[in-house]
């Protein structure tokens, strides 16, 4: 794909490549890597279908959030994107070509690769032109009994204007001939399809000869749509879907009650400005033009699709087909275990012991590290449950960004408040797409007597912290949990994250200061061991990068290894460039967005960037600095090296001080991933990615080896 040109000074590079990769372009490259998994024959077939669905969901969010934000930015003719400094309109035009390419590749993957492969496994999507009389009879009955009662066709005339079309919902535009019951001539109608209806229907044994035969809801409606317009002739029926801007617009400085203001905005999210129009590729041009006009969209916002307009809903086939042999082998998370000091064999450092009655006793003995999803999340829940009942616990403070529904975390905090503990929850109401649930959970906690605050105006609270204050004999002791991922019992099964339990008093005191910042108006920025955005995290990282550069200039040992979801902050990137020029070897493991351009002589030839795409979503944030080899530093964090994380959020970055935990994070979070040659993609200087070449080496998958390790 042709790169976006830049106005930046390129004198530091040998060629004419821009100094920074455009953020949105990099995000699309990530989705190409996800889509590539759907084409990977080494992955179980139904898992490949899931990857296709994930790529579809990712594209939806790209349009809803990223492209929507760019279109807003483009309203200012002088606005430029960061960090690459391009005019927003130029970026939008370049991205349009890439998005159309990706969508075309998605449907090629579905129609030419996955559907034939599924057919070979006797999982069939039966198209209308292959329906037998047996199929037709059952489908007709199903439509009459299950679909027709909940479908509301809207004829378009002066008394029936074009309906409001909800974001990402399935709809059909129908062309008609003839008169309705009142003698009106209606040429067009819209049929909205409720979200409650399944997009994929499994045919029962009486309807087909196959064990796993499916029909698309769109095919069922196409075949029976005339039943919605008795006495008229349907001359055409075409599916379409519109993607809308889902960004929320709240001036936090002007509202008195953030929760009430957010509730008001959420009600209108489904009707934001249109961004993209997907239409069946056999729809006549005049009808496509009509829809573009209704949604006030330009022609480049039109995407013609050969298949269901929402590929994400095909995810249901993995459950409906009941073919576990075509899925990843189930993995059971490891129950809580005490870790021994690391041995020379890094794959045999774990053993099980009888647990003390209280987690507090264990944590007081030594720091404990959990590695999700390989370790169970249950110790975190148990930690809160024990704290809620322990008579020696005085207070519990916690940040909540995403928790999920029916969360045991919420129940434990409610119980603690009911038991008379001082409980404070910092709930981030603006966690994208979780706003509704977070409002519900915040209300529940308030009703139980928990002190609920919503963080700081203008700064999302993204830190992951629990602080338990406990009286032990004649002293107060702090027990802290800090993590790289959310307190969400579902995502901890699929996201790779580290969580640290510690009774380290410095970490506990720092955590207390941060909670005081969030709940009061005091100025408590002087932390002893933690780094925190928006105050010290960016500068603390740059200071350590510059220290490595100075060590390299002096001929001392220097090395930087960093793992994160995204890298886009210009100050960090520039510091890494300078460290590379000083001779520091820098290995970056960046799953998604990366605006740093590696491998350019004179700028970044000592930097490699690897992206790992695997069974689990890589979510660690880990930062390692060699520090002359005398005292290496290792941090875990809730923050990526993104501008939003470092400048516009409350984030924490915590040191790994215990020797065993240090070795575990370094080995399992960094070293193993640098050896990966099955899910690794290498960022090229031009911004594209190439799958890592094995060079006849044995396959090495960090995730598979960790599954094996934790299963023993």
Q: Identify whether residues 678 and 630 lie together within a single domain.
A: yes
Q: Is residue 363 a part of any domain in this protein? A: yes
DSSP H or E run through 635: strand 633-637
Of 70, 98, 120, at which residue does a domain stop? 120
φ, ψ at 3 (rounded to 5°): -80, 160
With a cut of 50, say whether residue 349 has pLDDT above it: no
How far apart are the C-alpha atoms of 239 and 222, rounded to whole Å? 9
Q: Is residue 702 part of a domain?
A: yes
When the pLDDT of each residue in the chain is averaged and rounded to a whole number, the result is: 89
Domain assignment present for residue 459? The answer is: yes
Task: Let me know: does 402 contact 430? Beta carbons within 8 Å.
Answer: no
Across residues 470-491, what is the average pLDDT? 94
Average pLDDT of 662-680?
97
CATH of the domain at 94: 1.20.58.310
Rounded Cα–Cα distance for residues 482 and 530 (Å): 11
354, part of any domain: no
Task: Give backbone dihedrals phi and psi of 186, rounded to 5 degrees, phi first.
Answer: -110, 120
The C-alpha atoms of residue 219 and residue 127 are separated, in whole angstroms, by 7
DSSP secondary structure code for residue 179 in this structure: B
What's the CATH number where 567 sits?
3.30.870.10
> 495 labelled as ligand-binding?
yes
Quote the number of domains for the chain: 4
Do 90 and 137 lie in one domain? The reply is no
Same domain? 387 vs 487: yes
The H helix count followed by the E strand count for the chain is 21, 27
pLDDT of amino acid 208: 94
Q: Identify the helix (H) or strand (E) that includes residue 465.
A: strand 465-472
| Whether residue 513 sits in one domain with residue 371 | yes
Asked if residue 552 belongs to a domain, the reply is yes
Q: Which residues lie across from 239 on neighbouring strands?
A: 172
Supply the DSSP symbol for 66: I
pLDDT in tens, 217-268: 999 999 999 999 998 899 999 999 999 998 755 444 444 454 454 444 445 5
Give yes or no for a contact between 449 and 443, defined as CB atoms under 8 angstroms apart: no
Tell me, yes or no, whether 60 lies in a domain.
yes
Pair (421, 440) in one structural domain: yes
Classify 397 as helix, strand or coil. Answer: strand
pTM, 2 dp: 0.90
Whether 432 has a binding-site annotation, put simply, is: yes
pLDDT digit string (tens) for 177-220?
A: 887 666 666 689 999 999 999 999 999 999 999 999 999 999 99
Out of 104, 120, 136, pick the residue that ends a domain: 120
> Would you say 341 is a known binding-site residue?
no
User: What's the mean pLDDT in 134-139?
Assistant: 96
pLDDT of 351 reads 38
On whether both 379 and 398 belong to a single domain, the answer is: yes
Residues 379, 396: Cα–Cα separation, whole Å: 16
Q: Are residues 376 and 518 in the same domain?
A: yes
State the residue range of the domain holding 471.
359-525
- Whether residues 624 and 511 share a domain: the answer is no
The residue annotated as part of the active site, out of 372, 462, 481, 489, is: 462
Instruction: Give the model's pLDDT for residue 187.
Output: 84
Residue-wise pLDDT for 164-174, tens only, equals: 899 999 999 99
Please say which residue of 474, 495, 525 terminates a domain.
525
Question: What pLDDT does residue 185 have?
Answer: 61
Domain shared by 517 and 406, yes or no: yes
- Report which secondary-structure segment, H or E, holds 546: helix 537-553
Q: Is 645 annotated as a binding residue?
A: no
The C-alpha atoms of residue 15 and residue 105 are separated, in whole angstroms, by 31
Higher pLDDT, 590 or 5: 590
C-alpha dist (Å) from residue 524 to 143, 532, 680: 64, 11, 42
Query: Is 371 considered catalytic here?
Result: no
Q: CATH number, domain at 253? A: 3.30.1840.10
> Is residue 334 assigned to a domain?
no
Is 58 flagged in the annotation as binding? yes
Q: What is the pLDDT of residues 513-547, one digit of tens each?
A: 999 999 886 676 789 999 999 999 999 999 999 99
CA–CA gap between residue 8 and residue 16 (Å, rounded): 10
DSSP string, 83-145: TT--BHHHHHHHHHHHHHHHHHHHHHIIIIIIHHHHHHTTEEE--GGG--HHHHHHHHHHIII
Measure the CA–CA gap between 648 and 68, rounded to whole angstroms. Answer: 20
What confidence category does residue 652 fall into, taking pLDDT thresholds of 50, 70 and 90? Answer: very high
> Are both 157 and 220 inside the same structural domain?
yes
Q: Is 712 annotated as a binding residue?
A: no
Same domain, yes or no, for 41 and 19? yes
Q: Answer yes or no: is pLDDT of 572 > 90.
A: yes
Check whether residue 275 and residue 163 sit in a common domain: yes
Distance CA 331, CA 372 (A): 12
Residue 320 reports pLDDT greater than 80:
yes
pLDDT, tens digit, 9 for 90 and up, residues 97-124: 999 999 999 999 999 999 999 999 999 9
d(CA 591, CA 457): 30
């Amino acid at each position: 794909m042709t790169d976006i040109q830049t106005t930046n000074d390129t004198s530091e590079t040998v060629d004419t490549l821009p100094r920074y990769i455009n953020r949105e372009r990099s995000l699309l490259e990530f989705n190409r890597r996800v889509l590539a998994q759907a084409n990977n024959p080494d992955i179980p077939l139904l898992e490949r279908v899931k990857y296709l669905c994930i790529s579809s969901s990712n594209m939806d969010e790209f349009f809803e959030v990223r492209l929507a934000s760019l279109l807003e930015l483009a309203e200012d003719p002088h606005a430029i994107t960061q960090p690459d400094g391009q005019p927003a309109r130029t970026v939008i035009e370049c991205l349009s070509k890439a998005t159309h390419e990706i969508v075309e590749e998605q449907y090629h993957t579905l129609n030419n690769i996955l559907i034939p492969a599924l057919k070979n496994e006797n999982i069939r999507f039966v198209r209308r032109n292959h329906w037998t009389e047996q199929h037709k009879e059952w489908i007709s009955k199903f439509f009459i009994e299950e679909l027709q009662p909940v479908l509301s066709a809207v004829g378009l005339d002066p008394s029936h204007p074009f309906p409001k079309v909800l974001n990402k919902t399935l709809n059909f535009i129908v062309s008609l001939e003839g008169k309705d019951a009142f003698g009106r001539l209606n040429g067009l109608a819209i049929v909205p399809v409720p979200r409650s209806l399944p997009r994929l229907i499994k045919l029962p044994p009486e309807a087909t000869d196959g064990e796993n035969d499916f029909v698309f809801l769109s095919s069922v409606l196409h075949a029976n749509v005339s039943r919605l317009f008795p006495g008229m002739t349907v001359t055409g029926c075409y599916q379409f879907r519109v993607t809308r801007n889902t960004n929320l617009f709240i001036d936090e400085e002007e509202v008195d009650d953030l929760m009430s203001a957010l509730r008001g905005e959420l009600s209108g999210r489904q009707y934001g400005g249109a961004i993209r129009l997907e239409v069946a590729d056999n729809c006549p041009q005049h009808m496509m033009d009509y829809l573009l006009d209704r949604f006030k969209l330009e022609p480049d916002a039109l995407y013609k699709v050969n298949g269901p307009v929402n590929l994400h809903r095909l995810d249901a086939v993995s459950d409906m087909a009941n073919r576990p042999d075509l899925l990843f082998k189930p993995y059971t998370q490891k129950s809580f275990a005490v870790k021994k000091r690391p041995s020379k064999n890094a794959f045999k450092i774990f053993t099980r012991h009888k647990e003390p009655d209280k987690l507090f006793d264990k944590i007081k003995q030594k720091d404990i590290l959990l590695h999700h999803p390989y370790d169970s999340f249950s110790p975190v829940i148990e930690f809160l449950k024990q704290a809620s009942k322990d008579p020696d616990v005085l207070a519990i403070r916690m940040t909540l960004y995403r928790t999920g529904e029916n969360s045991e975390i919420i129940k434990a905090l409610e119980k603690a408040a009911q038991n008379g503990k001082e409980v404070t929850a910092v709930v981030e109401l603006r966690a994208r797409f979780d706003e509704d649930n977070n409002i519900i959970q915040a209300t529940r906690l308030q009703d139980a007597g928990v002190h609920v605050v919503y963080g700081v105006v203008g700064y999302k609270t993204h830190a992951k912290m629990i602080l338990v204050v406990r009286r032990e004999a004649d002293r107060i002791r702090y027990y802290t949990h800090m993590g790289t991922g959310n307190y969400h019992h579902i995502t901890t099964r699929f996201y790779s994250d580290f969580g640290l339990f510690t009774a380290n008093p410095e970490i506990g005191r720092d955590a207390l200061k941060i909670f005081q910042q969030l709940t009061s108006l005091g100025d408590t920025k002087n932390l002893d061991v933690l780094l925190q955005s928006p105050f010290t995290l960016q500068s603390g990282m740059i200071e350590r990068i510059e220290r490595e550069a100075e060590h390299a200039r002096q001929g001392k040992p220097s090395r930087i290894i960093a793992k994160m979801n995204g890298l886009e902050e210009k100050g960090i990137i520039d510091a890494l460039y300078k460290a590379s020029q000083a001779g520091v070897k820098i290995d970056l493991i960046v799953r998604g967005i990366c605006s740093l351009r590696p491998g350019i002589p004179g700028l970044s030839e000592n930097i490699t960037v690897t992206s790992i795409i695997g069974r689990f979503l890589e979510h660690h944030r880990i930062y390692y600095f060699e520090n002359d080899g005398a005292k290496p530093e290792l941090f875990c964090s809730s923050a990526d090296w993104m501008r939003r994380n470092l400048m516009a959020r409350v984030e924490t970055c915590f040191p790994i001080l215990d020797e065993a935990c240090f070795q575990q994070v370094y080995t399992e979070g960094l070293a193993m991933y640098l050896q990966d040659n099955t899910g690794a993609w290498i960022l090229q200087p031009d911004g594209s990615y190439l799958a890592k070449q094995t060079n006849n080496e044995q396959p090495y998958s960090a995730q598979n080896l960790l599954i094996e390790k934790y299963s023993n």
